Structure formats: structure tokens, C-alpha cells
Amino acid sequence: MLCDICGKVQATVHLTEIVDDQMSELHLCEDCARNKSAQMEQQFGLSDILAGMADFDKPSKAAETLSLKCPNCGLTYAEFKKIGRLGCGDCYAAFRQYLAPLLKRIHGSAKHSGKLPGKCGGKSVQPRKKSELQELRQKLLKAVEQENFEEAARLRDNIRELEEKPRQQGENGGEYGT
């Protein structure tokens, strides 16, 4: 199949576009796909969206953000706002106080809750287990404070049991063994 745009080269990229509820398929060669991608990025650049959202900073913070720089890669916060991408993993820590509100605006939360594949039932076992461990640890502290050592020993054993389960599953090939 030849490229829908130039009609000269074999199409290697297949793009489905939906505009105003109308679906159209484009079969493009690499060069035409690259040009189309550049056009789309100019129209709907993620960096523009992020930069627009990041511009909600209060004017008093504007001077602070100009000097903010990642110690690892050297990316400045102003550059991040311009390109919409962080330079490295350390940027998250360097720009933390400005990223948290931005992430909250974009995702509705600054905390990642994660997902599981549908074939696993779509329910998250690990986060539930983590919260159960946290709850047990809080109860343990309270029991120790109240000098209820029998309850504290029972809670300690429950915590150990929950913490041991992943190790045992790892040794046995996991819960969903082959």
C-alpha cells in the first residue's frame, strides 16, 4: 500500500484520526508521518497544555521558579514549562512543590493509585494489603502505648504474616503460577 499523502513510498505508519465524530484512516510513509506528527504537535502540543496549567503559579512564585534547576540534569523549571517534559527522575524531587499542584489539577490527585489488568479482576490487592499493614502498625503502636502487650504480640504476628506472604508466593512461582 502506498502513502496516502505522497503516493510514492510504501506506507509503514497507519494512523486513525477522529475529528468531529468522523473517523478516517491514513496510511503514511515514514517521512509523511514525521511531518504529520510535527503538524499535530504544533496544533495540540502537550507542552502547551502543561505550560498553560503550570502558569497558574502565583506571581510571587514566578521569581522563585526562574532560578529552580534540577541538580542532576540541569533542566530549569522554565524549560520544563516550555517543553512539557522533565529531564530525569531527579526533576520530580527538584520541582516537587510545583509539580504536586499541577498533577492534582491534571489527574485529580497528586498520589498514584495504580491499576491492575482486567484478567486479575481489576481489583488491587497490593494497595489494600499496604493499607491493612499500616492499620495494623497503628494498632500495634496504640497497644504498646496502652501497655496491652498480649494484643501487641498478636498484632506483631499478624504484621509478620502479611509481610511474609509476598516472599512465599515468590518462592512458589506466585499466586498465578503457570
Decide if pLDDT at 16 tops 90: no
Q: What is the mean pLDDT of residues 101-120?
A: 68
Least confident window among 105-109, 119-123, 140-144, 150-154: 119-123
User: What's the DSSP call for residue 44?
Assistant: S
The pLDDT value given to residue 118: 61
59 pLDDT tier (thresholds 50, 70, 90): very low
With contact defined as beta carbons under 8 Å apart, do 9 and 29 qualify? yes
> Distance from first CA to last CA of the chain, Å, rounded?
41
Burial class (CB in 10 A: 0-12, 13-18, 19+), 90: middle
Q: What is the DSSP letter of 1?
A: -
Q: Which region holds residue 111: left if phi is over 0, alpha if psi is between -120 and 50, else beta?
A: beta
- Considering 32-46, 52-66, 101-115, 136-150, the range whose residues carry the highest mean pLDDT is 136-150
For 87-123, the DSSP string reads: SSTHHHHHTHHHHHHHHHHHHS-SS------GGGTT-
pLDDT digits (tens, 9 = 90+) for 29-56: 988 888 877 766 555 555 555 555 555 4
pLDDT-derived band at 175, boundaries 50, 70, 90: very low
Q: How far is residue 139's CA from residue 92's CA, in Å, rounded to a whole number?
A: 33
Torsion angle defined by CA atoms of residues 49, 53, 55 and 59, in that order, rounded to the nearest 10 degrees:
170
Asked whether the predicted pLDDT for residue 61 surpasses 70, the reply is no
